[in-house]
């Protein structure tokens, strides 16, 4: 069958599947662009985005635009060396902007990690004010986070886990019991409470936290609240032991208990 020249696409004769894939591309890229835009506004509505995030989003939008431009090329609406060179230039710029964004974001991530390490090590942070803050501040922070959404319980657990793995694990000796004691020393130094190792076996440990800064003496709310602490223990041990570690808080001020009890499961 002979096709008139205007029905010839760069992939050969026009066909319905080709038209559908073009429509899907166009709709998908436009929806994707709107989504990135709205997502960006939602997350950065309260504070300006870092340059790295701006670059990353710009790169994603540029790649969307470049994909959209493939449609007129497919149907020979756009053609010729000039527009092809322009199109490939756009492709190159999109890739550079996108990877630049990734690279800067990675730098920002490393800067946060560096700062967390410095906080743990530093003797004195402030000049005139003491470094102690009122215990009420972290408690209000943790309670308000959990007040916003139950999702923050796992956010706190994973934040603690990441901190434990990246920063605390480096400070730990070998052996499960010495490890837990060293975590206890860090807890004590930070005023988080007195950690006591109650029981240790090869795959399980039980630790208690007396007068824990997050939940000691609180009004029971029918659920545990020391997720950051649980995560921190889990992350530190997991990174040091190079084995899966899960920590569950079974007794907590949030449940009306006099101390916190964490069950550590290894492997």
Nearest to 191 by CA among 132, 119, 265, 129: 132
226 vs 239, which CB is nearer to Zn ion? 226
Cβ within 8 Å of residue 212, ≥6 positions away: 192, 193, 226, 229, 253, 259, 260
Contact 85, 138 (CB under 8 A): no
Q: Does 215 bind Zn ion (CB under 5 A)?
A: yes
Nearest to 160 by CA among 219, 106, 255, 237: 237
Q: Does 195 bind Zn ion (CB under 5 A)?
A: no
Q: Does 261 bind Zn ion (CB under 5 A)?
A: no
207 vs 245, which CB is nearer to Zn ion? 207
Cα 208 from Cα 114, distance rounded (Å) = 30
Judged by CB under 5 A, which of 142, 226, 236, 247 binds Zn ion? 226
**Least Å from the CB of residue 135 to Zn ion:** 14
Place of tokens 């796992």: 154
Cα 3 from Cα 127, distance rounded (Å) = 81
Binding segment for Zn ion (CB under 5 A), chosen from 3-11, 44-52, 57-65, 225-233, is: 225-233
**Least Å from the CB of residue 126 to Zn ion:** 29
Q: Does 252 bind Zn ion (CB under 5 A)?
A: yes
57 vs 228, which CB is nearer to Zn ion? 228
**Least Å from the CB of residue 214 to Zn ion:** 6
Q: Does 192 bind Zn ion (CB under 5 A)?
A: no
Judged by CB under 5 A, which of 156, 260, 262, 264 binds Zn ion? 260
Binding segment for Zn ion (CB under 5 A), chosen from 22-30, 61-69, 174-182, 250-258, is: 250-258
Cα 250 from Cα 262, distance rounded (Å) = 6
């Amino acid at each position: 069958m002979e096709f008139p020249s205007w029905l010839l696409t760069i992939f050969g004769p026009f066909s319905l599947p080709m038209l559908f894939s073009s429509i899907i591309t166009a709709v998908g890229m436009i929806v994707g662009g709107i989504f990135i835009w709205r997502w960006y506004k939602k997350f950065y509505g309260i504070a300006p985005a870092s340059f790295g995030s701006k670059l990353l989003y710009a790169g994603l939008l540029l790649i969307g635009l470049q994909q959209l431009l493939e449609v007129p090329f497919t149907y020979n609406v756009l053609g010729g060396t000039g527009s092809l060179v322009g199109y490939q230039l756009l492709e190159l710029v999109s890739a550079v902007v996108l990877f630049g964004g990734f690279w800067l974001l990675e730098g920002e991530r490393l800067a946060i990690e560096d700062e967390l390490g410095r906080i743990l090590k530093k003797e004195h942070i402030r000049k005139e004010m003491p470094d102690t803050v009122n215990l009420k501040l972290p408690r209000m922070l943790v309670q308000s986070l959990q007040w916003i959404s139950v999702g923050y319980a796992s956010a706190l657990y994973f934040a603690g886990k990441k901190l434990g793995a990246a920063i605390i694990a480096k400070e730990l000796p070998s052996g499960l019991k010495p490890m837990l004691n060293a975590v206890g020393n860090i807890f004590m130094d930070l005023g988080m409470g007195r950690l006591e190792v109650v029981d240790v076996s090869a795959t399980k440990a039980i630790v208690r936290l007396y007068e824990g800064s997050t939940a000691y003496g609180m009004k029971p709310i029918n659920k545990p609240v020391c997720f950051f602490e649980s995560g921190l223990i889990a992350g530190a041990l997991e990174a040091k032991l190079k084995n899966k570690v899960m920590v569950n808080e079974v007794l907590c001020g949030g449940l009306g208990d006099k101390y916190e009890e964490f069950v550590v499961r290894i492997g």
